[in-house]
Chains A and B, each alone.
Chain A
Amino acid sequence: MDVNPLAVILVENGSKGDRLLFRYPYDTATPNFAKRIRAKQLQTPYPQISAEEMHKTNAAYSSTISGSVHSFPSKVLSNLFAVKSELCGKKFEIKINDIRFVGHPLLVYHQGEGKAAGSSQESILSFNVIFALKASASHAVVDCYHEVSKRIAAALWHEERRVAYLSEEAKVMTSTQDDVSSELPDDLLDVPYHLILQRSQLARDLRRVYEDLQISGKIHLRINRWILISCCLPQKIYHLLDPGLIIEPADIHACMEALRPYHAILLLGDKEKIINNLPLDSSPALKRLINLANPLKSLQTLAADADLTLSHVFQLVGHMLYFGHATIIYPLCDSNVYVLAGSANTSPQSKLADVFSEMFNCACLIQIMSEFSVPVSLSQRRNPLATPEQESQEIKIIIWMLQHHLLIQLHTYVQIVVDDMHPRSFNKGSFRSAKTTRVTFASRQSTPDELNTGSSLTRMPSDSDMASVISDEALSSPPSHKSIGSKAPWSIENILSTSLSNTEREAVLQVDAATNSEDFELFARLCKYFRGKHHLEEIMYLENVRRSNLLHLIDKFRTILITFEHEDSACSVFYKNSTTINIS
């Protein structure tokens, strides 16, 4: 993982020129030359080059700067990062050999803007908070660090203009540096940073930023006890949750794109613990949501329960995903089919196995995992003789395994595929007769009552979630269906022609079930979902149909419909490494 920062550096550009105010971590021992050479040799990824040869190349291309941040003298760093005013207010990125520096320099006073009256002679023109990273860190990681740097810079900028905080802190830092350097020889220049840490609040804050990023990936602090900085590195957080899981912010955005009101959130930790770890002034809506969160509840119900709009719930969920508090699942129900995830760690010596046997005493993780080697639905797993305790234990085990990304849910998708290689010899007579029968049947009214009795899974849209486009769709679709039945028969044909190609339409008419008006109407209504993009649960949700009706329909039209199973794209983001290890 190249997520960890190598250093954090604060540089000012003042009326007296550039100056490095603080760097952390500082090297207490002066690095000697031999150490540098050794570090250099270890860096090359090609061990087959002989040591002798390498020494030659090193000598030829040697520079005073080797691959460690410590080897950069403070003067060089301050010269690099005290940028010209043209570069201020923008992302600043520079790579030197194997180290990438990223920051967001800011001008304290804009051009033309007069300095505050009565300011002292020594004033800060611009400053820069820089993070040093390994050059191999990905673009997304660099962008996250830029964001952190930008936030700190903005807070400092505000505090500087409000109460000249940065100037005060800078004065403490420079005076400490001057005190020490007048007493000590040049080669012990790192000593002042230790003293600065004791004297300056800002230096301690920067140390905390560095350490928090290193340890937890979450930053939560107030600059000058006033401006809140709260952000995180999702890559680091997910890495801590599950080493080997690589989640970039882009993945979370992809998940948010695929998020639907029928999804549910599954908290990754203890409810109390998550709430206690939230900052004191966090949104009460978030706390309410966490309190009410339940793997059985869809976001839609959750929104109704928490008395929030659906779009607000989506935003909160996005936040929780970003901070690694929760993951996305389809609400637990009997028809859910689960299987062992390809990314699951199956070693019996793994830490997870120990934790598992501790949590659910006498249960063996490997045994349970082997039971999920073939896809099983929850109803299949249910033992009719089990006591209620055993049943709840079983559900707890499944929830635990979902939390640890050991299980993945399979969904069934439907695709309409017509044999276009060999178009069936159309019997014109039968085609026409099919058409006429359909017209006569289509004039019959469908029974809307049957459709309104939602199955246990589809949740009736309630008034509180009008914000969602999808729920709007769900609300509006039953009336449109009614109009199909009562209106002129060509409306079915219309629907068919908009969502199907000519060959497909002809093939549909060839199917025996097309002569039955009810089946045919249902097919016409649902055919837009038979493109492999919607799973059965989604179709049920969107069109308010029963699972059994849907399955019957698919069965009746099985000559042109093909089903296949795979995971939901919203949830599969969190199993990312499953696709990469498929060769072994």
Chain B
Amino acid sequence: MIKAIFFSEFHPTLGPKISYQVPEDYVSKEIFDAVSVYIIPKEQLDSCIITVNVLGHKITGYPVRISDEKYPRNFLIFNLCFVCDSDARTVQYELVVRKLAEHLVTLEVEQNFLSTESNRAKLPKILGQILSDINRCGLCTVTVGTSTLHLKVIQVAAEPPPVFDHHVPVFTSEFSPLKQDYWDLTTKQVLPYIDGRSHVARVAIEADVDIGLVKSCIQNLLYYGVVQLIPIFQYSNMYAATPKLRELPMNSDLNKECITFVAKSERHPPSFRDVFQMYCGMTYGTTIRDLCLRFNPHALRIDEHRLVQFGVLQGIIRRICKYPVYKPETQRGSHKKQMTSLHRLCTGVASYDEICCRTGLSYHELDEKIEADADICVLWK
């Protein structure tokens, strides 16, 4: 949330000052004087994004200097700053501030925008528009004379995690796949195949897009929080409850959301007790198949696939993966055994899912091979 925007400059006789500010007097004269050295800094810091966080204000600016003999001191220094609360995040505004400042430079160089009094008078109105539009929708289009400037605040999120072949992308609840004109062509081609069931490799084949491209598309979608990654659903999977499970009976919103999400049909939602009991049944050593045999989710009107999906997305349960580790018994046999390609994959880092995806083996085929091999130890975690 931007609290205020001000335009400050180096006045040839008065020194640094705020020329225009919306809303007025948000940053008082005293505070400005205390921080003016960071708003109108030394020459070496021109064209740097400077954010100063003191006295309860976080001020982001991009000081610029235009050298020309027509100015009283042979240069013009100005800085258009965004002011936020001291605990707010301001990284996302940095590029906007820079773009705005550079646009003003262009306007000044081409049209003497800042040096003619009549044009300058338009600044408060422009600043006010930017302030309200950016706070309202994160977008702003500024028109000055014949030139137009588009500003957009892009939220800076953490780097998305790498996407692997065996991950399953699933849309987060807020996203409506209908609004698709927003994305690039490849993403548009991939989007229809994201159904929360197919893994990345399969999405790539179905969409007929190169897998590397699919991965970067999904990574991009991850960055914007449109999709989340979950493990492949299989009846042989195991899950374990996390401490978040205790929130489920307490939190009535989560509770209702859960019941509607896991229901087989909308008209006959399952009872919360049954849903909760199935989540509680998920523990080490219990596969989804075991759970289905024990509870018969079909009769309880629960869709077990959606149950798992909801649990993983909400962090109520977590997947327990199987990690085969190749551990040759070197003590007994003096002859060194030939390491097979499978052995090379059993590093303790790759899970069953990953190995299945790499080798093209099914879970059971892989399981049989590994069971038969005495040199491979299996870990669950």
| Residues in chain B near residue A91, CB distance under 8 A | 53-54
Residues of B within 8 A of A45 (CB): 159
Contact A90 B55 (CB under 8 A): yes
Q: How large is the interface on B (under 10, 10 to 19, 20 to 34, 35 or more residues)?
A: 35 or more
B52 at the interface (CB under 8 A from A): yes
Q: How far apart sit A83 and B51, CA to CA, in the bound complex (Å)? A: 15
Asked whether B46 lies within 8 Å of A63 as measured between CB atoms, the reply is: yes
Give complex CA distance A60, B64 in Å: 12
Q: A86-B34, A366-B327, A584-B164 are in contact. Are A346 and B381 (CB under 8 A)?
A: yes
- Looking at B19-27, B121-129, B238-246, the stretch in contact with chain A turns out to be B238-246
Q: Are A79 and B381 in contact (CB under 8 A)?
A: no
Q: Is A340 an interface residue (CB 8 A)?
A: yes
Interface size on A, residues (CB 8 A): 67
B381 in complex: contacting residue of A72, A94, A341, A418, CB < 8 Å: A341
Contact with A along B40-57 (1 / 0, CB 8 A): 011111111111111100
- Which residue of A94, A346, A415 contacts B325 across the interface (Cβ within 8 Å)? A346
A531 neighbours in B (Cβ, 8 Å): 246, 249-250
Contacts A417-B277, A583-B231 given; indicate if A76 touches B379 (C-beta within 8 A): no
Q: Does B279 contact A (CB under 8 A)?
A: yes
- Quick one: which of B234-272 are within 8 Å of A by CB? 240-243, 245-246, 249-250, 269-272
Interface stretch, picked from B9-17, B207-215, B312-320, B364-372, is B312-320
Q: Are B271 and A84 in contact (CB under 8 A)?
A: no
CA distance A86 to B54 in the complex (A): 10
Contacts of B319 in A (CB 8 A): 582-583
CA gap between A565 and B280 in the complex, in Å:
8
A90 touches B54 (CB 8 A): yes
Contact of B380 among A60, A61, A374, A419 (CB under 8 A): A374
Compute how far the CA of A341 lies from the CA of B380 in the bound complex, rounded to whole angstroms. Answer: 9
What are 29 A-B pairs with beta-carbon distances under 8 A?
A63-B44, A63-B46, A64-B43, A64-B46, A80-B38, A83-B34, A84-B33, A86-B55, A87-B34, A94-B54, A96-B48, A340-B380, A340-B381, A348-B327, A366-B377, A366-B379, A370-B377, A370-B379, A373-B378, A373-B380, A418-B273, A419-B272, A532-B246, A562-B273, A564-B245, A572-B243, A583-B230, A583-B319, A584-B167
Shortest CB-to-CB span from B342 to chain A, Å, is 15
* Shortest distance between the CB of A273 and any CB in chain B (Å): 30
Residues of A within 8 A of B378 (CB): 370, 373
Q: Which 3 A-B pairs rank lowest in CB-CB distance, beginning with the nearest?
A: A532-B246, A421-B271, A564-B280
List B contacts of A65 (CB < 8 A). 44-45, 48
Expressed in whole angstroms, the minimum distance between the Cβ of A17 and any Cβ of chain B is 13
CB of A181 within 8 Å of the partner chain:
no
Task: Determine the residue in chain B with the shortest Cβ distance to A420.
Answer: B272
Residues of A384-421 contacting chain B, CB below 8 A: 413, 415, 417-421
Q: Does A489 contact B (CB under 8 A)?
A: no
Shortest CB-to-CB span from A352 to chain B, Å, is 11
Q: Are B249 and A97 in contact (CB under 8 A)?
A: no
- A83–B31 alpha-carbon span in the complex (Å): 12
A569 on interface, CB distance cutoff 8 Å: yes
Residues of A within 8 A of B45 (CB): 63-65, 76, 80, 96
Given A63-B45, A63-B48: A94 and B53 interface contact (C-beta under 8 Å): yes
B141 within 8 A of A: no
Set of chain A residues within 8 Å of B240, measured between Cβ atoms:
565-566
Q: Does A579 contact B (CB under 8 A)?
A: yes
Is A563 part of the binding interface, using a Cβ–Cβ cutoff of 8 Å?
yes
- CB nearest neighbor in A for B168: A583
Instruction: Please tell me if the beta carbons of B348 and A366 are within 8 angstroms of each other in the complex.
Output: yes
Complex interface: chain B residues within 8 A of A564 (CB)? 241, 245, 279-280, 283
Residues of A within 8 A of B318 (CB): 342, 578-579, 582
Given contact pairs A76-B45, A415-B276, A94 touches B379 in the complex (Cβ within 8 A): no
In the complex, are the beta carbons of B243 and A569 less than 8 A apart?
Answer: yes
Min C-beta distance of A206 to chain B, whole Å? 23
Contacts of B44 in A (CB 8 A): 63-65, 72-73, 76
B154-168, CB < 8 A from A: 159, 161, 164, 167
Separation in Å of the B246 CB from the closest CB of chain A? Answer: 4
| Interface pair A95/B381, CB less than 8 Å apart | no
Instruction: Determine if A274 is an interface residue (Cβ-Cβ < 8 Å).
Output: no
* Contact B347–A79 (Cβ < 8 Å): no
> Which A residues lie within 8 Å of B279 (CB)?
564
Determine how close the nearest CB of chain B comes to the CB of A513; give it in whole angstroms: 18
Complexed CA–CA distance, A94 and B30 (Å): 19
**In the complex, which of the residues B33, B98, B379 has the most CB atoms of chain A within 10 Å of its own CB atom?**
B379
A579 touches B315 (CB 8 A): yes
CB under 8 Å from chain B, chain A span 38-75: 45, 60-65, 72-73, 75
Once A86-B34, A93-B53, A417-B273 are accepted as A-B contacts, the answer to whether A374 and B347 lie under 8 Å apart by CB is no
Q: How far is the CA of A345 from the CA of B347 in the complex (A)?
A: 11
> Is B225 an interface residue when CB atoms closer than 8 A count as contact?
no
B48/A97 in contact, CB under 8 A: yes
CA distance A393 to B379 in the complex (A): 22
